[in-house]
Structure 1
Amino acid sequence: MTADNAHGRLDDDDYPAYTTGRAADMLGTTQGFLRALGDARLITPLRSAGGHRRYSRYQLRIAARARELVDQGTPIDAACRIIVLEDQLEEAQRINAAHHRTAEVANPTAAA
């Protein structure tokens, strides 16, 4: 990978740019908390060539939401389940909105 290609990937939300230590620092949590999220299968960090965990910005957003819930007193396993359900709800709402847009294009008089 050239330097230009690597630089362009930093804008990619799924690019595993952050080490466990850096990710924990950014979230104000411990490395153990991030490992616990991996153990709970909420996030699965990619591994570097040397076997070290690497996190993407997308994964850090999920971890931040988990930390928010845990800080409010939610057990980590319940926090992970809540996040999965929130994600499923968001996806269902996105699909529903797309179906409504398709229906409006197919039958504009019915939408009025």
Structure 2
Amino acid sequence: MKKFGLFLIGAVASIILLSQIGPLLGLVISAVILYFAFKQYVKATSTTGKIGWGIAGIIMLVITASNLPAIIGLAAVYVLYLVYKKWNNNKKQSIISKNSSDDPFQNFEKQWSELNK
């Protein structure tokens, strides 16, 4: 039942991520151009260069702000990561529980070999 819940949450997060791919790409591209415009603004020595890069930066800031709904897509990516991590964690725990034994003699042998090292 736990796996079904994880699968359901993962499916919903995948659908949300797929619906937000366009805004995510727009956000990334506009943020990169905004960063480039800021770096050029700082490097510019002339007043006209600073004004030009400042205007370009403001335009890119507005474009970046228009893509802010893409944060929902980023949250979906994070949820998918958590589901993936939890799904694999359950597999490791089941393997560990199958390998561990309650036999006192096997546990004694393990502890004795660790003490002799």
Q: Which has the higher contact order (CA 8 A, sep 6+)?
A: 2
TM more than 0.5: no
- Structure number with the higher helix fraction is 2
Q: Which has the larger radius of gyration?
A: 2
